Amino acid sequence: MIFRRLLLLSLSTALVAGCFLVPKERKILEPPLIDPPAVTYRTVEVTRGVIEQEVIVTGTYEYTTQYSLSFTYKGGRLERLPVRYGDDVTVGRLVAELEAGTLLTDIELQKIAVERAEIILTKRRVQDDRLDVRLAELDLQAARIRLRDLQTALERRRIYSPIDGRVVYIAPIEIGDFVEPYEVVARIADPGEMLVIYRGGEAGLFKVDYPVELRVGDETYQGVVVMTPATAPARLPESQRNRVFIRPVDVSPEKLERSFIVIRAVIARKENVIVVPRSGVREYQNRYFVHVLENNIRIERPVEIGMETQTHTEILEGLAEGELIILQ
């Protein structure tokens, strides 16, 4: 009996001690609530303004009146080239000369022959022999013809400037080089007649009488379109028809004598229209829309667009002044 009581007492003590050894259940804490960041949009107010559609291309200058100079009689070795690129020349100035060979000697001898024939003719006239006079006249005529031919041959070995102008081209030849007949040795141009030329895929956008800006370096000049592919004469070959001719206004040719000229032409202009940044207009399957911010809520709005430039778009329908559109 006593043993049973001791056993029960031991078991009770063990159970009570075991309760103290079991860890208490930890209370799970709820995660802290964090407010989401406020949504911000980059917006721009819808306003009216001006939109211009422009073309920016590059062109070169060309003289409209040019003379290509060459030896047309026969070729030969170059003896003189007394002009250089950019020289201003007067009409009749020597531009180039070929070696004369024996021509100068032949001319001097023929001058003597002419003078001798003149003396003989004078003597025959004194003798009053009609037959001898006639023969002497024929001899003198032949001598003069021969002298004229020699002098012409000499002149054909020289090239002179046909106008008061400027040397705009010199062939890459040296003294002593052989020059072929009809090989262009130099070009003389009228410096007062110069055009800016554009050749390229945007040529069809230009129109006659359009004002343009011509930028050379840091300076800007004005010009007027005088010919386009649509107005080019039909007689011109196709390679020359697809060009735009621009006449500079109030600018000296010297300032445009550079190889790089930037041409800016405004081909369309609208005023007092709704214009928005192009980055705010979206397109999907040929449908245009913008995102408008109303009461801090983004709303998709279909729009109809008009003229477009690289930076702005004209809105014909769908927006009103004062609204806020969301940029991309």
CATH code, domain with 79: 2.40.50.100
Shared domain for 87 and 196, answered yes or no, is no
Shared domain for 116 and 219, answered yes or no, is no
Using N-to-C axis directions, what is the helix angle for 103-127 and 130-155, rounded to 10°?
160
Contacts 24+ apart (CB under 8 A), 224-229: 224/249, 225/265, 226/195, 228/203, 228/204, 229/203, 229/204
- 25 pLDDT band, cuts 50/70/90, is low
Instruction: Name the residue with higher pLDDT: 240 or 292.
Output: 292
Give me the half-sphere count of Cα atoms (radius 13 Å) on the Cβ side of residue 221.
Answer: 19
pLDDT above 90 for 78: yes
Shared domain for 94 and 105, answered yes or no, is no
SS3 call for 153: helix
pLDDT above 60 for 8: no
pLDDT at 19: 52
pLDDT at 103: 83
The secondary structure element, H or E, covering residue 135 is helix 130-155
Number of domains within the chain: 4
- 9 pLDDT band, cuts 50/70/90, is low
pLDDT at 306: 92
Q: Could you tell me the residue range of the domain that residue 283 belongs to?
A: 43-53+270-326
pLDDT above 90 for 41: no
Shared domain for 78 and 181, answered yes or no, is yes
User: Which runs of E-coded beta strand occur in 132-286?
Assistant: 158-160, 165-170, 178-179, 186-189, 194-198, 211-216, 219-227, 244-249, 261-277, 282-284
When the pLDDT of each residue in the chain is averaged and rounded to a whole number, the result is 85
pLDDT at 12: 57
Mean pLDDT confidence for 113-136: 85
Residue ranges of alpha helices (H) inside 172-309 are: 238-241, 253-256
DSSP 278: G
Instruction: Decide if 28 is inside a domain.
Output: no
**294 beta partners:** 297
Residues 213, 262: Cα–Cα separation, whole Å: 8
